[in-house]
Structure 1
Amino acid sequence: MTLPSAGRFTERILPLAGLGSLLLFWWVGTAWLGEPGPLRQAFSPDRCLAELAKLLSSGALLPHILASLKRVLVSLLFAVLVGVPVGILVGVSSRWDRATSMVFQFVRMISPLSWMPVAIMLFGIGDAPVYFLLTVAAVWPILLNTSAGVASVEERWILLARSMSATRWETVLTVVAPAILAHVLTGIRLAIGIIWIVLVPAEMLGVSSGLGYYILDTRDRLAYSELVAVILLVGVIGYVLDLSARRIHQAWIHRPVD
């Protein structure tokens, strides 16, 4: 029987120690800070964690979780369909790069939430403005990472494709696209994080489902234990999404090459 090395043991213990410190800070904050009363008790870890377990076991949150995940996936698909082709075009064409660089840098610095009134005027109330806001938020890391990936493709591979009489389109498909996939996956991972952050306020635009809607509903009902429980769930799901994207990226980088 072999014992785990000290490095691996520390690697496993440190995250748990960090999580335990956060829970301890939370408990101390609600137990000793502020005036005692029902409001402070509503934010205590035991009440909030018990409420989270109750909501998950009853299935009350499942429709809202599915609605939020659907919006994330659909918006991410839209962002990929826009960001990857435009990023490739900007990367392969210096003229397009010069023509769009200033515009892209200007527009991407505008907060996606600033487009809320525009989204409502264009698409009305419902899922459409949410998709618009999330797509606007997610398209930039995908576009910029794709463009950076194209710029990092080794020139000798492009020259080799041209020496074999490959057209520009064939060069993009056979040389550029496979070479930039790691960059695209990095952009997608960053986009998922941005989408998940923008999702909660975006789901307060007149929709009737989703985790952002549920947080707004708990606030209106003064159900503060439920509110914190859903906030915790948002953090857990966001962590799982980022971890999944990270694992896919690492699997692609470390894949066996024939």
Structure 2
Amino acid sequence: MSSVPARPSPSTQTQRETVTPSGRTAGTRGWLGRVVLGAGGLAAVVALWWLGVALLARHNALAAQFSPLAAVATLPTLVTEDGLFVHVAASLRRIGVGLACALLVGVPLGFAIGRVKAVETALSPALQFLRMISPLSWMPVAVMALGIGDRPVYFLLAFAAVWPVVMSTAAGVQQIDRRWVQLGESLAATRLEMLWHVYVPGIAAHVLTGVRLAVGVLWIVLVPAEMLGVSSGLGYLILDTRDRLAYSELMAVVLVIGALGFLLDSVARLVYRRFAGGASAD
């Protein structure tokens, strides 16, 4: 005769009903608290910006054009007259191409470094040497070799982004549990099966971490790289507004660069949490 499971007591039911909502409430409060603190930090930065401009404006009337209010007021002009969205699209395209090139080179190279000890020993000194050279140092060489236009920009962005990808991929390969590799080998898995079922899941979180770091580096290098004779992009827009002495528009472009960089980093964190088991990217 099968036993009938005991019905939970009213006190147990009440406890279950109250624990879940309280947990959700605590999570909501924590999220709201982080949002409030983050907004407070941004407000403090804007207040310091405004205060600094106000102090400088006492001695230089031109400084008033750098105020946050002047920057926000000129945003509609940037959109309607300066084609802001065209420049944003050009910059994002270059970021995408540079990151794709960095992944195509960095992931296989990092995999080889992490998988084969001889490759790591042979390449580590050269890679560390190249990694320490600022990507912007290659600007004259890139222009001489590739001309002006998008190609030198792609090269500089890829050169800047490849190192986080290489190092993260190599670290991921080296930290894979050897028991999983031995299990795959004992089951006579092919190289393709080992790659897809053991190595790719094992290094995915590390590669995504490298991608997030690479996006941050790319966004920093992008603006000076777009000063290499291109006719579009946020870096070009910075030069254009400076040459026209439109300093309020220049500060508006700076605001746009900061906002887009924040959004790109947020997207990278969401992708990491989605494909790396929900772990925190911070």
TM-score w.r.t. length of structure 1:
0.93
Specify the alignment match of 1:110 in structure 2.
133
SS at match of 2:74: helix
SS at match of 1:222: coil
Structure 1 unaligned spans of 5+: none
User: Hey, what's the Cα distance between the residues in 2 that align with 1:8 and 1:133?
Assistant: 38
User: Hey, what's the Cα distance between the residues in 1 that align with 2:130 and 2:31?
Assistant: 44
Q: Which amino acid aligns with 1:254?
A: G
Alpha-carbon distance, 1:128 to partner? 0.3
Specify the alignment match of 1:222 in structure 2.
245
1:175-186 paired onto structure 2 within 5 Å: 175-186=198-209
1:22 aligns to 2:30 (yes or no)? no
1:84-123 paired onto structure 2 within 5 Å: 84-123=107-146
1:187 aligns to 2:210 (yes or no)? yes
Q: Which string of whole-angstrom CA distances, capped at 9 and with x for unpartnered residues, describes residues 91-136 of structure 1?
A: 1101101111111111100000001111011101110000000000
Q: Which amino acid aligns with 1:171?
A: M
Indicate conservation of the 8 Å contact 2:241/2:250, yes or no. yes
Greater Rg over alpha carbons, structure? 2
1:67-146 paired onto structure 2 within 5 Å: 67-146=90-169
Indicate conservation of the 8 Å contact 2:204/2:276, yes or no. no
Specify the alignment match of 2:254 in structure 1.
231
Note the aligned Cα RMSD (angstroms): 2.0
Specify the alignment match of 2:9 in structure 1.
none
Q: Percent identity?
A: 51
Of structures 1 and 2, the one with the larger relative CO (CA 8 A, separation 6+) is 1
TM-score w.r.t. length of structure 2:
0.86
1:207 aligns to 2:230 (yes or no)? yes
User: Hey, what's the Cα distance between the residues in 1 that align with 2:243 and 2:124?
Assistant: 44
Q: Which 10-residue stretch deviates more, 85-94 or 172-181?
A: 172-181
Q: Which string of whole-angstrom CA distances, capped at 9 and with x for unpartnered residues, describes residues 29-81 of structure 1?
A: 11123534541111112111111243236672011000000000011000000
CA distance 1:4–1:46, shift in 2 (3 Å): farther
Specify the alignment match of 1:158 in structure 2.
181
Alpha-carbon distance, 1:168 to partner? 4.1
Indicate conservation of the 8 Å contact 2:53/2:67, yes or no. yes
Structure 2 unaligned spans of 5+: 1-20
User: Hey, what's the Cα distance between the residues in 1 that align with 2:78 and 2:227?
Assistant: 21
User: Hey, what's the Cα distance between the residues in 2 that align with 1:171 and 1:68?
Assistant: 38
Q: Which string of whole-angstrom CA distances, capped at 9 and with x for unpartnered residues, describes residues 168-227 of structure 1?
A: 454223211121111111101100110000000000000000000010111111110011
Q: Which 10-residue stretch deviates more, 208-217 or 40-49?
A: 40-49
Q: Which amino acid aligns with 2:124?
A: S
SS at match of 1:110: coil
